[in-house]
Structure 1
Amino acid sequence: MSDSQYYKQASEIYQDLREDAEQDADNIEVWDKRIDNTGCYVENMALQLCHAETNDWRQCLNEMKLFKDCWESHGNRERIGTVDKNQTDIKN
Protein backbone atom coordinates (compact mmCIF):
# COMPACT_ATOMS: atom_id res chain seq x y z
CA MET A 1 0.00 0.00 0.00
CA SER A 2 2.79 2.42 0.86
CA ASP A 3 6.54 2.62 0.53
CA SER A 4 6.79 4.40 3.88
CA GLN A 5 9.18 2.73 6.31
CA TYR A 6 6.85 3.82 9.10
CA TYR A 7 3.87 2.20 7.41
CA LYS A 8 5.80 -1.06 7.21
CA GLN A 9 6.74 -0.85 10.90
CA ALA A 10 3.15 -0.01 11.81
CA SER A 11 1.87 -2.99 9.82
CA GLU A 12 4.13 -5.28 11.85
CA ILE A 13 2.95 -3.72 15.11
CA TYR A 14 -0.66 -4.14 14.01
CA GLN A 15 -0.11 -7.78 13.12
CA ASP A 16 1.29 -8.38 16.61
CA LEU A 17 -1.70 -6.59 18.13
CA ARG A 18 -4.12 -8.75 16.13
CA GLU A 19 -2.32 -11.92 17.24
CA ASP A 20 -2.44 -10.77 20.86
CA ALA A 21 -6.15 -9.99 20.52
CA GLU A 22 -6.83 -13.48 19.25
CA GLN A 23 -5.08 -14.96 22.27
CA ASP A 24 -6.38 -12.61 24.96
CA ALA A 25 -8.79 -9.86 23.88
CA ASP A 26 -9.19 -8.60 27.47
CA ASN A 27 -5.56 -7.49 27.64
CA ILE A 28 -5.71 -5.17 24.63
CA GLU A 29 -5.48 -1.51 25.63
CA VAL A 30 -8.66 0.54 25.32
CA TRP A 31 -6.80 3.09 23.19
CA ASP A 32 -5.73 0.40 20.73
CA LYS A 33 -9.31 -0.89 20.51
CA ARG A 34 -10.63 2.61 19.83
CA ILE A 35 -8.06 3.29 17.11
CA ASP A 36 -8.64 -0.14 15.59
CA ASN A 37 -12.37 0.62 15.40
CA THR A 38 -11.64 3.59 13.13
CA GLY A 39 -10.18 1.22 10.53
CA CYS A 40 -7.00 3.31 10.42
CA TYR A 41 -4.79 1.75 13.08
CA VAL A 42 -1.81 1.20 10.78
CA GLU A 43 -2.01 4.68 9.28
CA ASN A 44 -2.31 6.26 12.74
CA MET A 45 0.64 4.27 14.04
CA ALA A 46 2.75 5.12 10.97
CA LEU A 47 2.10 8.82 11.55
CA GLN A 48 3.02 8.49 15.23
CA LEU A 49 6.21 6.57 14.43
CA CYS A 50 7.26 9.14 11.85
CA HIS A 51 6.70 12.06 14.17
CA ALA A 52 8.42 10.32 17.08
CA GLU A 53 11.51 9.69 14.99
CA THR A 54 11.69 12.98 13.08
CA ASN A 55 10.06 15.33 15.61
CA ASP A 56 8.86 17.28 12.57
CA TRP A 57 5.36 16.91 11.11
CA ARG A 58 6.61 18.34 7.81
CA GLN A 59 8.67 15.21 7.28
CA CYS A 60 5.56 13.07 7.73
CA LEU A 61 3.40 14.45 4.93
CA ASN A 62 3.13 11.06 3.22
CA GLU A 63 1.96 9.44 6.47
CA MET A 64 -0.46 12.31 7.09
CA LYS A 65 -2.00 11.81 3.66
CA LEU A 66 -2.32 8.06 4.20
CA PHE A 67 -4.05 8.68 7.52
CA LYS A 68 -6.35 11.37 6.14
CA ASP A 69 -7.35 9.23 3.16
CA CYS A 70 -8.01 6.24 5.41
CA TRP A 71 -9.97 8.35 7.91
CA GLU A 72 -12.25 9.73 5.24
CA SER A 73 -12.68 6.41 3.41
CA HIS A 74 -13.94 4.80 6.63
CA GLY A 75 -16.50 7.54 7.30
CA ASN A 76 -14.79 8.80 10.42
CA ARG A 77 -15.47 12.44 9.60
CA GLU A 78 -19.13 11.83 10.42
CA ARG A 79 -18.11 9.95 13.54
CA ILE A 80 -16.27 13.01 14.87
CA GLY A 81 -19.28 15.25 14.24
CA THR A 82 -21.36 12.96 16.42
CA VAL A 83 -18.79 12.96 19.20
CA ASP A 84 -18.50 16.76 19.11
CA LYS A 85 -22.27 17.15 19.17
CA ASN A 86 -22.62 14.85 22.15
CA GLN A 87 -19.90 16.68 24.06
CA THR A 88 -21.57 20.02 23.36
CA ASP A 89 -24.90 18.66 24.59
CA ILE A 90 -23.29 17.50 27.81
CA LYS A 91 -21.70 20.90 28.51
CA ASN A 92 -25.00 22.77 28.09
Structure 2
Amino acid sequence: MDDKAPSSSYYQQALEEYQELSKEEEEDDWDTRIDKTGCYVENMALQLCHADTNDWRQCLNEMALFKKCWESKGNRERVGTVDR
Protein backbone atom coordinates (compact mmCIF):
# COMPACT_ATOMS: atom_id res chain seq x y z
CA MET A 1 0.00 0.00 0.00
CA ASP A 2 1.38 3.41 -1.05
CA ASP A 3 1.37 6.01 1.77
CA LYS A 4 0.24 8.67 -0.69
CA ALA A 5 -2.78 6.71 -1.94
CA PRO A 6 -4.03 4.11 0.56
CA SER A 7 -6.21 1.40 -0.92
CA SER A 8 -9.55 2.25 0.66
CA SER A 9 -12.67 3.34 -1.16
CA TYR A 10 -13.50 5.49 1.88
CA TYR A 11 -10.09 7.16 1.68
CA GLN A 12 -10.59 7.92 -2.01
CA GLN A 13 -14.07 9.33 -1.35
CA ALA A 14 -12.74 11.43 1.54
CA LEU A 15 -9.89 12.73 -0.63
CA GLU A 16 -12.35 13.81 -3.31
CA GLU A 17 -14.54 15.54 -0.70
CA TYR A 18 -11.49 17.28 0.78
CA GLN A 19 -10.44 18.54 -2.64
CA GLU A 20 -13.94 19.94 -3.20
CA LEU A 21 -13.99 21.46 0.29
CA SER A 22 -10.67 23.20 -0.29
CA LYS A 23 -12.25 25.04 -3.25
CA GLU A 24 -14.92 26.60 -1.05
CA GLU A 25 -14.32 30.17 0.01
CA GLU A 26 -15.91 29.96 3.45
CA GLU A 27 -14.54 27.37 5.83
CA ASP A 28 -16.39 25.72 8.69
CA ASP A 29 -14.68 26.09 12.09
CA TRP A 30 -14.77 22.33 12.69
CA ASP A 31 -13.31 21.54 9.29
CA THR A 32 -10.56 24.10 9.88
CA ARG A 33 -9.63 22.53 13.22
CA ILE A 34 -9.51 19.03 11.72
CA ASP A 35 -7.55 20.29 8.72
CA LYS A 36 -4.91 21.77 11.04
CA THR A 37 -4.20 18.28 12.42
CA GLY A 38 -2.96 17.27 8.97
CA CYS A 39 -5.26 14.24 9.03
CA TYR A 40 -8.48 15.58 7.54
CA VAL A 41 -8.75 12.94 4.81
CA GLU A 42 -7.97 10.07 7.18
CA ASN A 43 -10.52 11.39 9.68
CA MET A 44 -13.17 11.74 6.97
CA ALA A 45 -12.45 8.24 5.63
CA LEU A 46 -12.95 6.81 9.11
CA GLN A 47 -16.22 8.72 9.51
CA LEU A 48 -17.48 7.63 6.09
CA CYS A 49 -16.67 4.00 6.85
CA HIS A 50 -18.46 4.09 10.18
CA ALA A 51 -21.48 5.89 8.71
CA ASP A 52 -21.69 3.27 5.95
CA THR A 53 -21.13 0.16 8.06
CA ASN A 54 -22.29 1.32 11.51
CA ASP A 55 -19.56 -0.96 12.89
CA TRP A 56 -16.10 0.27 13.90
CA ARG A 57 -14.76 -3.27 13.56
CA GLN A 58 -15.26 -3.05 9.81
CA CYS A 59 -13.19 0.15 9.70
CA LEU A 60 -9.93 -1.15 11.12
CA ASN A 61 -7.98 -0.21 7.98
CA GLU A 62 -9.29 3.38 8.11
CA MET A 63 -8.65 3.52 11.85
CA ALA A 64 -5.05 2.40 11.32
CA LEU A 65 -4.53 5.02 8.61
CA PHE A 66 -5.90 7.72 10.89
CA LYS A 67 -3.75 6.60 13.82
CA LYS A 68 -0.62 6.51 11.65
CA CYS A 69 -1.33 10.00 10.34
CA TRP A 70 -2.20 11.37 13.80
CA GLU A 71 1.04 10.13 15.31
CA SER A 72 3.22 11.11 12.33
CA LYS A 73 1.95 14.70 12.52
CA GLY A 74 2.77 14.99 16.23
CA ASN A 75 -0.84 15.42 17.28
CA ARG A 76 -0.52 13.16 20.31
CA GLU A 77 1.97 15.58 21.88
CA ARG A 78 0.06 18.67 20.78
CA VAL A 79 -3.29 17.49 22.14
CA GLY A 80 -1.72 16.21 25.35
CA THR A 81 -0.79 19.77 26.26
CA VAL A 82 -4.35 21.00 25.68
CA ASP A 83 -6.31 18.33 27.55
CA ARG A 84 -6.74 18.80 31.26
After TM superposition, the score normalised by the length of structure 1 is 0.84
Runs ≥4 in structure 1, deviation > 3 angstroms? none
Amino acid in structure 2 at the alignment position of 1:7:
Y
Instruction: Name stretches of at least 5 consecutive residues in structure 1 with no aligned partner.
Output: none
Question: Number of residues paired by the alignment?
Answer: 80
For 1:64 and 1:49, the matched residues in 2 are separated by: 11
Identity %: 70
After TM superposition, the score normalised by the length of structure 2 is 0.92
For 2:12 and 2:41, the matched residues in 1 are separated by: 9
Superposed displacement of residue 65, structure 1: 0.3
The secondary structure found in structure 1 opposite 2:81 is helix
Instruction: Name stretches of at least 5 consecutive residues in structure 2 with no aligned partner.
Output: none
Pair 1:10 & 2:14 matched: yes
- Choose 1 or 2 for highest CA Rg: 1
For 2:74 and 2:52, the matched residues in 1 are separated by: 29
